[in-house]
Amino acid sequence: MQSSQVPRTIETDVVVIGGGSAGVHAALKVQAEGLRVLQVVKGFLGRSGASIFAGNLQLQKTKDPVEEEKFMGIRARYGSSYLNDPDYIKRACRFTEDVFFPEMERRGLYIRRDEQGELVTSSDRKAGNVWAPNQGFSGTMIMEVLRKDALVRKVPLLQESMVTSLLVTAGQVVGVTALDIVRGEFFVIRAKAVIVATGPGNYLATRSTATREQCGNGFAMAYRAGAQMQDLEMQWFHASDIAAPKSWMRLHIYPNPMPVTEKSVRLYGTDREMFFHLGMHPQVKQPYYLQLRYLYNEVKKGNARWHGGYYGGYTHIEPEIMENYSYQSQFFKHLGIDINKDLVELGITWHLTFGGIRTDTHTMASSLAGLYAPGGVGSHGVGSITYVGYDGTVAAEQACERSRRMALPPLPEEQVRSEQQRLHGHLKLKGQAGLLPAQVKKSIREIMSEKMGYVKNESRMASALDDLAEVRERILPRMGLGSVSRTWNYDWVDALDVEDMLDVCELTIRASMQRKESRGYFFREDYPFIDNKNWLKHTVATRVGTDIRFAFTPAAQKFAPENETDDFLTADY
């Protein structure tokens, strides 16, 4: 079904895509600077996406240069295997302490403090986690406070509206196209600057912590527009999420130290013998990838499966700590689990993407003029929700500076018409032998789960590319909708997601094939070594026509040991 109707055009200075911490911080900042802003959210403001799952707020307790440098070295080694920029982490940490916490408490957020008024942390060291108010509930509380602030300040907002493409003229982004999901209207937003803040969480595998809205749309739009993409092979998996029922897969058994203690979750194999606890690596405060390495060995021994057959628990932690400080304890009661006495069967879950749209960490600017990518959709590695707030603030400052010195650029009318035709081309009914878009999404997720999970190798990745090619060539032409109504038609939205998922999944696989080593959350059985000599660098991908061009740039890392090559499964990071 085609449409020749001229789409409605909205004009603004800055358009913000996304309703998480980065997006809301950006929109509030633009409005505070006195410029016009429009925030567009695929789901609901503050109630979908990755930010609501943030359990911890990271805190660096010192600005002493020696202690700060020590902390940055530890963070670089254990937090990103030397791919993050330590100077960016330092700036984000200072924003967290100097701006984020005071601003959030001023807005009315309750952050857990002790009787002396000091922030409750997981330890008394120079860095730790704090909570608002309980572990596992921080993101929900923060986003509720930010959502209300944005509504009270009347930030112009479009919810249940899906941005479908970036409009580019002469190498600069000049606006976006979008679909009003409720009304079924295709429209255009003309802007001087675009802030993409769609987050890092992508529902690209059968088990995922992402919400239904997150299908890599921000990545796909930027990639198709010609923006450079970086380190998409770096995928973060959880080792300690609930195995069953599947609807509970987002319920996380936190591996980080619990509040007011150094104790954390312990992992047990099928034989109920413990194979991992945090005391084995005391400097590591976020041991997610270490859990996966130990779990890999248990799976190889037949003492665990990737999606069950191993267990986690807090049975060694005082019940009053769990009752007073853990928000999630209440949910286990609904499953008939006493978290103080019972072990819980676990499975791995695809969590976040460390890479994304390649950005300058000082400005959040992408390789396309006028496009900014704060937060998890950017390339500087996933931080806490506080870092994401820093990113959104910086992106807004840069977008405002750009907007003040330029007029609204003209729209590329041919791009608009082409995108309108693409969207309306999906308004076709499913044939008798056809598939609904949701069924195609399920097939893509199964391919990625089976062949692009935590353990990778060349043959499985090549097979995954073949499978995705078959989806494009044989399944996509059979895909159709259950209804061609334009009003509130989520089959239509799913069809658009399918195209984005195919692009992002293919790009992820090809980036993974480029990296000939293992590092952090990235593990290749055929290259089981950390290779700082040859691979302390970023993979940078750019779309050229219908092909992908890869380049490699050194990581901005001053702490990494030179020429270090270690066995990935036994190295101390």
* pLDDT tens for each residue of 66-103: 888 888 887 788 777 888 888 898 899 889 989 999 99
Q: Examine the pLDDT at 62 and tell me if it is beyond 70.
A: no
pLDDT at 1: 47
pLDDT at 571: 72
pLDDT at 148: 96
Supply the pTM of this predicted model: 0.95
Instruction: Say how far apart CA 430 and CA 452 lie, in whole Å.
Output: 29
Q: Quick one: what percent of the chain has pLDDT higher than 90?
A: 68
Instruction: Say how far apart CA 14 and CA 23 lie, in whole Å.
Output: 12
What's the mean pLDDT when you consider all of the chain? 91
Task: Give the pLDDT confidence of 230-250 residue by residue, as tens digits.
Answer: 999 999 999 999 999 888 888
Once rounded to an integer, what is the mean pLDDT over residues 4-22? 94
pLDDT at 572: 65
| pLDDT range class, residue 564, cuts 50, 70, 90 | low
Q: Examine the pLDDT at 51 and tell me if it is beyond 70.
A: yes
Q: Which residues on neighbouring strands pair with residue 311, listed in sequence order?
A: 268, 345
- Rounded to 5°, angle at Cα 286 from 285 and 288: 145
Once rounded to an integer, what is the mean pLDDT over residues 123-142? 79
Once rounded to an integer, what is the mean pLDDT over residues 438-465? 97
Instruction: Say how far apart CA 269 and CA 299 lie, in whole Å.
Output: 9
pLDDT at 11: 98
Once rounded to an integer, what is the mean pLDDT over residues 218-228? 97
pLDDT at 379: 87
pLDDT at 538: 96
- Classify burial at 460, counting beta carbons within 10 Å of its beta carbon; exposed 0-12, middle 13-18, buried 19 or more: middle
| pLDDT range class, residue 307, cuts 50, 70, 90 | very high
pLDDT at 416: 98
- Rounded to 5°, angle at Cα 467 from 442 and 292: 70
Instruction: Say how far apart CA 296 and CA 40 lie, in whole Å.
Output: 41
Contact (CB, 8 A) for 389 and 401: no
What is the DSSP annotation of 107-150? TT----B-TTSPBP-S-SSSEEEE-SSSBTTHHHHHHHHHHHHH
pLDDT at 123: 63
pLDDT at 252: 86
Instruction: Say how far apart CA 400 and CA 145 lie, in whole Å.
Output: 24
- Rounded to 5°, angle at Cα 285 from 243 and 76: 115
| pLDDT range class, residue 113, cuts 50, 70, 90 | confident
